[in-house]
Structure 1
């Protein structure tokens, strides 16, 4: 299973959706989850870069697992997700700053409108219980969300599903940003 996490870690970095040492990936395996280690370079994941922890209870291994382990755990507890990708997509972060915590981003591209609908922006500190609750609640109704000033969280039945949602979130935010900038520049002429 770590090989699947490594595959998507490389794709995230190669496509500029995350810087190497930021973001995290997890897979549910029954009542456990496999999650990237804190500080792991996502484009260099090995078997030692992935930690197995319980979903229901905290673990002594939480200290070396991703700083977002509490968030992944709560998402698995409250949703049917079998995989989660957290990325630091640049345009998604910018759009979250413009929308504000609790805000919503309305895609202007047809794919974003069709596949994502309105994109929620949630608040909460990195790796906090507040963020865990906010994201789990939101992701019980949406396939993806953006954490204010922090990045995207996407869920799926597979890492491929979560990756597609991640790319769609970033694509829709990029198109929205560029479109609104073009409209503003056109209005200033």
Structure 2
């Protein structure tokens, strides 16, 4: 393992642990992947994030093959398919946060009740149709919900957030869950007002240069 691969594996481990630290995930649910050379690095199946180290991260080829004592996440198909179908995406985060999952259980689309929805790339956070976890059908439905979007809900399941790198994918996952929580509270308070598509389009343009920055050269 060279230094570049070690750094990439460490980034996957840190992202998986950050999901738990942010309260977006618990136990062995949820998974993280990062495009790596001619395949991807992905968290293993059934291993809590606290027990994942660099060596436990699985390299998965784009044909689904792997050579590792641990199996890749059971959701490797939609990770692989998203990275294969979306060249601008280099990182995928899947989690089961409380509010996003609650709306996914109700199979509800999240409307543009806050301008931050622009971070998802459109005026809604779509909810996919339902399919059994780990299946090709779920991957197909996820890709449909992600058309022209950076994130989506998975019916009766959870959420997916993507990004050009892991920090932005994680940031988007947090923003999506925050928006779902705020929408849930707003529904209790009254009737949330949906912003017009033109306003969201303006914000999408602003969001092209918005998001987490890790060093001065990013500004």
Kindly indicate whether residue 111 of structure 2 is the aligned counterpart of residue 106 of structure 1.
yes
Check whether the contact 2:125–2:151 (CA below 8 A) recurs between aligned residues.
yes
Q: Which moved more, 1:171-180 or 1:59-68?
A: 59-68
Determine the structure 2 residue equivalent to 1:25: 32
For structure 1, the 5+ residue unaligned runs are 185-189
Secondary structure of the corresponding residue to residue 105 of structure 1: coil
Structure 1 stretches of 4+ moved >6 Å: none
Of 142, 151, 164, the residue aligned with 1:157 is 164
Kindly indicate whether residue 17 of structure 2 is the aligned counterpart of residue 10 of structure 1.
yes
Secondary structure of the corresponding residue to residue 118 of structure 1: coil
Kindly indicate whether residue 102 of structure 2 is the aligned counterpart of residue 94 of structure 1.
yes
Q: CA RMSD in A?
A: 1.8
Question: Which protein is richer in strand relative to its size?
Answer: 1
TM-score, normalised via structure 1 length = 0.87
TM-score, normalised via structure 2 length = 0.76
Q: How many residues align?
A: 179
Larger gyration radius, structure 1 or structure 2: 2
Secondary structure of the corresponding residue to residue 121 of structure 1: coil
Determine the structure 2 residue equivalent to 1:85: 93
Check whether the contact 1:86–1:152 (CA below 8 A) recurs between aligned residues.
yes
Aligned partners of 1:19, 1:145: CA distance in 2, in Å? 19
Aligned partners of 2:178, 2:64: CA distance in 1, in Å? 35
Q: Which moved more, 1:58-67 or 1:39-48?
A: 58-67
Deviations 1:140-165 (A, max 9, x none): 41000010121111111100110111
For structure 2, the 5+ residue unaligned runs are 1-7, 192-219
Secondary structure of the corresponding residue to residue 130 of structure 1: helix
